[in-house]
Amino acid sequence: MSTDTSPSNFVAPELEEIAELLPSFEVLSFIAKGGMGAVYLAKQKSLDREVAIKILPRHFGEDATFQTSFESEAKSMAKLNHPNLIGIYDFGQIDGMLYIVMEMVHGTSLYHASYGKKIDPMEAGRIICEICHGLDNAHQQGILHRDIKPANILLNDQLSPKIGDFGLARPVGDHEADSAFGTPGYTAPEVIHHPSAVDESTDLYSVGVMLYELLTSKLPEKLYMPAANLVQCDPRFDDIISKAMNPNPILRFRTAKSMAEAIDTILSEKKSPTVSNRLVTSPSPAGGSAHPPRTLSPPVYIKKSSSPAIRNTIIIIVLLAAIYGAWEFYQKKKVQRAAENALIIEQNEQSKIEAAEKNAKLKEKGAREAQARKEARLKMIAEIQAANKELTPQLIKPIPELFVKCPELEEVRKKCYGLVDKIQKKFSGKSQSQFLQETEELRGFYRNKLTEIKTTLQTKGMNDQARTVDQELNATKVTGQAFVDYILGNN
């Protein structure tokens, strides 16, 4: 579902109103209200179970396109069945308002549980590992989340994470369904700069950001500072984070399951039968001091040997074994990293070749388009000169600049036309000031969308279409009724 563009004066329906419209549920209490609607705690009478009911603002139900998208996404999410995903039970429309019935999770969000705190590395690894398992289930069903962040992760009574709010979810490969871009700081670069490259690894980029944030209590910066330099944690966590957050999607983990397995390798080696913590946290001190979170360890008692010689011999043997084990581990790690580096170099070279081929094709296409425009212009000049043989060259008017068609512009202009027509009908014979206010808001939204399209086209090297969009931007600098007349007159 697309991000909310509704007015901020949405009023959540009263409990009695919801109970009357949904008689099969006993509405118990109001939970919260947000940009996409209001959430209520209720009991499903037929199955005697608690559920959460989310009611969307009325204007969403009036939008046929949004309603179709909502129903499609609800059906897709209802297929998901995993302990780390919030279940979807039902959906529908009541009194013009769309609603969805979900699993009720008693607990808090990961955002509220971890904000400003450094989570014990083992606990952070456990939480992220379970999130990966939930995402893997969704990805296997062909669904991307596209907005993974701590606020969209709920922790139940057992502190097990559950992924919710698939508000931006889309089937794999659906890149043009809306203009939602996720949350700054957690969003992979291709979401904005190369939407066609969005895939399962885009969600894993956000998971890598969350792992770093849980360990260090802050988001990664442009100049990456390893988490192991800020807190006391296994350096292999940084290897996992770096791979998950690689700017090149093809160099990230290819599946959520493979990322979970990498984390589980660390957890398995670190597990101790005498220690059991659940979300051990410590507040991040002022100034960003890198003191690690502390866990309680049982006291260790060493029985004194009756012979110092025997005791010293045992200590030496243990030290030698530890040194040999460390050397073996170092050699294996060295070989593994050399293999990974060779693979990365090979993949980078392949990416460079593909990029060079793509740029060559774009240049060739641009040259063809430029030549076609030149020929068309020369042909037009020749026709004008032939039709005006008796006129002096000074009387020939300059030929206007030719622009190529832009499908993205045509699509967004068509949508804008529909909205302008709807606003005009809505305020026909009513307050002119309110009509102009909504028209101006639509104009701002339309111009912002045009700017996004222009930037994307320029990034792809499609400068001819970008100039067409730029012409539309210049034409929509007018305000009020002039903007309405322009939109309606051009469709």
Residues serving a catalytic function are 147
Question: What is the rounded CA–CA span in Å between residue 178 and residue 383?
Answer: 44
User: Of 144, 199, 200, 181, nearest to 2 (Cα)?
Assistant: 181
Angle between helices 481-489 and 407-426 (to 10 degrees): 130
Scored b (16 or more CB within 10 A) or e, 182-203 reads bbeebbbebbeeeeebbbbbbb
In this structure, are residues 237 and 265 in contact, taking their beta carbons and an 8 Å threshold?
no
- Classify residue 251 by burial, with Cβ atoms within 10 Å: 0-12, 13-18, 19+: middle
Question: What is the rounded CA–CA span in Å between residue 253 and residue 260?
Answer: 10
In this structure, are residues 226 and 238 in contact, taking their beta carbons and an 8 Å threshold?
yes
Q: What is the DSSP string of 201-239?
A: HHHHHHHHHHHHHHHHSSPPPSS---HHHHSS--THHHH
Other C-beta atoms closer than 10 Å to the C-beta of 155 total 22
Residue 221: both structure tokens together: 């910066």
Q: Where are the beta strands (DSSP E) in 146-261?
A: 153-155, 161-163, 170-171
Residue 307: both structure tokens together: 């012979």
Question: What is the rounded CA–CA span in Å between residue 99 and residue 59?
Answer: 13
| Complete edge-to-edge strand list for the sheet that includes strand 97-103 | 25-34, 37-44, 49-55, 97-103, 88-94
User: Looking at the DSSP assignment, which residues form a beta bridge with residue 33?
Assistant: 38
Question: What is the rounded CA–CA span in Å between residue 348 and residue 355?
Answer: 10
User: Of 99, 117, 365, 79, nearest to 218 (Cα)?
Assistant: 117
Tell me the three state secondary structure of residue 118: strand
Question: What is the rounded CA–CA span in Å between residue 468 and residue 480?
Answer: 23
Question: What is the rounded CA–CA span in Å between residue 260 and residue 82?
Answer: 15
